[in-house]
Amino acid sequence: MSRRSLWVLLPVLLLLAFASIQCSNNKLRAKMTAEERLQHAKELYNKHHYLDAKTEFQVLVVSGQGSAVADEAQYYLAQCYYHLKDYVTAAAEFQRLVRMYPSSQWVDDAQYMIGMCYYKLSPPPGLDQEFTLKAIDAFQRFLEDFPTSDLRPEAEKRMAELRNKLAEKEWKNGELYRKMGYYESALIYYESVLTDYYDTPWAERALFQKGRVLEKLKRYADAVEAYQEFVRRFPKSKLLPKVRQQLAKAREKLGKQQATALGDQGK
């Protein structure tokens, strides 16, 4: 055989050799026990080969071969989807673990990860917040079911971030209506922030703007009450000087309003 012919055949020979090795590996994996397959899949997972690892975990989960390790395989299968950024599928797989293996040691981690999947899907404040609400619900359930978990601080941190996002959305809606002159509608959104998201930074702004909107509506007594509440609740706020100014103005307007009302009654 000439050297040229050998070079032509070399890729074919290499391909056949590779196919032979793969066939051999597949036969070996087919004879694996559940524990061996799980170990092999976790090795792939730890090397960040998530697609290959996913296939191996699926074999354990779907075939029933790994009944003794099925919950662990289910957990890692969901983690593979998570790392592949298929968060919707990942959430469904974590939920499947919680539903099918409620006594598994992986349930608390799975419940936390359901929250993380929806957290990753949570959009900016201006968009629909369906996934934000789902993330909050998932983290809330996690905190209720596993109050002593080491992941509790992280769950609380994520929840605070998500609640802050919802508060921002309500605040921006209120600002939009205020600037358009729809003051009653603006009040609804400011009240929503103060009632549902009182523990977020947006509560200060909402209460201040509530007072201003009440002034626009000539509800000076309510405006004074709003400003006084602000002084009580946020004594260290950067907005406090403006609030005090508005409070003085609102009191002055209230006095004039009351004087006018008394004058009208005397006629």
CATH topology of domain 166-267: 1.25.40
50 touches 80 (CB < 8 A): yes
Q: What is the pLDDT of residues 63-109, one digit of tens each?
A: 765 578 999 999 999 999 999 999 999 999 999 999 999 999 999 99
Please give the CATH superfamily to which domain 36-149 belongs: Tetratricopeptide repeat domain (1.25.40.10)
141 touches 128 (CB < 8 A): no
Tell me the average pLDDT across 36-44: 95
pLDDT at 11: 53
- Rounded to whole angstroms, the Cα distance separating 213 from 241 reads 18
Span between the terminal Cα atoms of the chain, in Å: 124
Quickly state the pLDDT bin for 260 (edges 50, 70, 90): confident
**pLDDT(44) > 80:** yes
Tell me the average pLDDT across 16-41: 66
pLDDT at 208: 98
Q: What is the pLDDT of residues 202-213, one digit of tens each?
A: 999 999 999 999
- Where are the CATH 1.25.40.10 domain residues in the chain? 36-149, 166-267
User: What size, in residues, is the chain?
Assistant: 267
The pairs formed by 189-197 with CB atoms below 8 angstroms and a separation of 24 or more are 193/167, 196/166, 196/167, 196/170, 197/163, 197/164, 197/166, 197/167, 197/170
pTM: 0.82
Tell me the average pLDDT across 240-262: 93
How far, in whole angstroms, is CA 38 from its chain's centroid? 30
DSSP string, 82-136: HHTT-HHHHHHHHHHHHHH-TT-TTHHHHHHHHHHHHHHH---TTS--HHHHHHH
Q: Please tell me whether residue 183 adopts helix, strand or coil conformation.
A: helix
Question: Residue 68 carries which side chain, given as an amino acid letter?
Answer: A
Quickly state the pLDDT bin for 43 (edges 50, 70, 90): very high
Quickly state the pLDDT bin for 28 (edges 50, 70, 90): very low
pLDDT at 65: 52
201 touches 164 (CB < 8 A): yes
Place of tokens 């922030």: 193
Q: What is the pLDDT of residues 146-190, one digit of tens each?
A: 999 999 999 999 999 999 999 999 999 999 999 999 999 999 999
